[in-house]
């Protein structure tokens, strides 16, 4: 299988910040040609620094680099007839449009789905918003931080005491970008059967609620809203951060056999047969005394020694790495997660097909690099491998 399975698809991205650009970058890494249409001043995140990466004398924020690899950039002012015509010209042979304007935001420019669907009946039009195309909040702008709070994610994140915590990266934006890519490709397959495009309606809040997964089901099945659990798991014990002599590690036992091996390693064999801890339900009910007994032993081990002991005994455990430790990790290095993009480094997408990673060789575009100077767009860097009707 080719590491560029989407070669032949053309994407026009009218998206800014993170969720929409993340979907566009994912499609680019999988081989699609992605044309990023930016306002004359560029995507806001070009200026979201420091840190900045200098390309050809122009500093561009690392934030922008994280989500825009593999694209071509053109500029268009949607407020002008010329800008609107430029976008329509790009759509003439495009398969997919990605936009993340507020609901109705593109209608006044004639670039909304209802206006375009009859002109471009095969176009897959993906709208990414905070709250979706309908409902009482549809008119609101969506921000990852606010969605983390509204979705319940922050209600279960952080220590039990004190204020709720957000996740340290914009996960609702990123999940929405990934889910959008999945939905877009499903629409591509459906178009192959029907010949018709579709309007894909993606909302940050929908995606964030969806990924509440077992925590959401814990509530729906019990009627009790789960709270913040800090670093321990609500359904498994022992499955949390433990203190060691020189820091902390994660131990994550998922079944009785792993728990037994942990007790043996720590010299706590009496806890294997203790009536309070014989099964996971008992361990969950008696979490505090059990984990304190385990912690009393782990504090006598160094991080390296306990991790090695767990590895030898088949006990799931791992370190809590800083970013420098992440990119120095031998597994991360072996998998080639750090990219050499010439003037700077990057992070590859996680796709590998038949042993070959799927990642665009193109760095992030300079602003308007594909403008032809006459109000149009330079021709693509490569021809389609197949006409869009064959996809």
173 counts as catalytic:
yes
- DSSP-based three-state secondary structure for 221: helix
Closest CA to 141 of 200, 101, 98: 101
- DSSP-based three-state secondary structure for 5: coil
**CA 164 from chain center: how many Å?**
22
Cross-strand bridge partners of residue 55: 58
Map tokens 């031998």 to a residue.
330
Distance CA 113, CA 119 (A): 10
Distance CA 232, CA 244 (A): 16
What b/e string do you get for 37-48 counting C-beta neighbours within 10 Å, with b at 16 or more?
bbbeebbebbeb
Map tokens 């790009």 to a residue.
90
Count CB-CB contacts under 10 A for residue 283: 22
Strands 58-61 vs 52-55: parallel, antiparallel or unpaired: antiparallel
- DSSP-based three-state secondary structure for 315: coil
Closest CA to 184 of 289, 34, 293, 326: 34
Count CB-CB contacts under 10 A for residue 364: 27
Closest CA to 228 of 156, 152, 150, 164: 156
User: Which residue out of 173, 206, 256, 390 is catalytically annotated?
Assistant: 173
What b/e string do you get for 217-242 counting C-beta neighbours within 10 Å, with b at 16 or more?
ebeeeeeeebebbeebbeebbbbbbb
The helix/strand count (H/E) of the chain reads as 15, 15
Structure tokens at 127: 């709208």
Structure tokens at 298: 């782990």
Closest CA to 357 of 26, 70, 30, 6: 30
Residues that are catalytic: 173
């Amino acid at each position: 299988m080719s590491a560029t399975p989407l070669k032949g698809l053309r994407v026009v991205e009218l998206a800014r910040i993170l969720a929409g650009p993340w979907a566009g970058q994912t499609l680019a890494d999988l081989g699609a040609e992605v044309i990023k249409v930016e306002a004359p001043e560029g995507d806001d995140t070009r200026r979201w620094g420091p840190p900045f990466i200098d390309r050809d004398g122009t500093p561009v924020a690392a934030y922008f680099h994280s989500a825009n690899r593999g694209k071509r950039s053109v500029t268009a002012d949607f407020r002008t007839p010329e800008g609107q015509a430029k976008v329509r010209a790009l759509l003439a042979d495009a398969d997919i449009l990605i936009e993340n304007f507020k609901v109705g935001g593109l209608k006044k420019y004639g670039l909304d789905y209802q206006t375009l669907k009859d002109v471009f009946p095969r176009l897959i039009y993906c709208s990414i918003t905070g709250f979706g195309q309908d409902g009482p909040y549809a008119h609101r702008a969506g921000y990852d931080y606010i969605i983390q709070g509204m979705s319940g994610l922050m209600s279960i994140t952080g220590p039990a005491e004190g204020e709720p915590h957000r996740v340290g990266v914009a996960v609702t934006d990123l999940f929405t970008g990934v889910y959008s890519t999945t939905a877009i490709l499903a629409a591509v397959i459906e178009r192959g059967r029907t010949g018709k495009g579709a309007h894909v309606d993606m909302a940050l809040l929908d995606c964030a609620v969806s990924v509440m997964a077992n925590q959401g089901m814990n509530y729906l099945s019990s009627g009790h809203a789960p709270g913040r659990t800090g670093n321990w798991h609500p359904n498994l014990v022992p499955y949390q951060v433990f203190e060691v002599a020189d820091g902390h590690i994660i131990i994550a036992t998922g079944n009785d056999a792993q728990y037994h091996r942990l007790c043996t390693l720590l010299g706590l064999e009496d806890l294997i047969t203790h009536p309070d801890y014989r099964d996971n339900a008992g361990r969950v009910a008696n979490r505090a005394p059990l984990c304190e007994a385990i912690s009393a032993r782990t504090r006598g081990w160094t991080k390296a020694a306990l991790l090695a002991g767990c590895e030898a005994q088949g006990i799931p455990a791992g370190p809590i790495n800083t970013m420098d430790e992440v990119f120095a990790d031998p597994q991360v290095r072996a998998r080639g997660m750090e990219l050499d993009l010439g003037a700077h480094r990057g992070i590859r997408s996680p796709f590998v097909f038949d042993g070959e990673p799927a990642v665009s060789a193109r760095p992030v575009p300079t602003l308007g690099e594909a403008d032809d100077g006459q109000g149009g767009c330079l021709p693509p860097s490569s021809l389609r491998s197949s006409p869009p009707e064959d996809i």
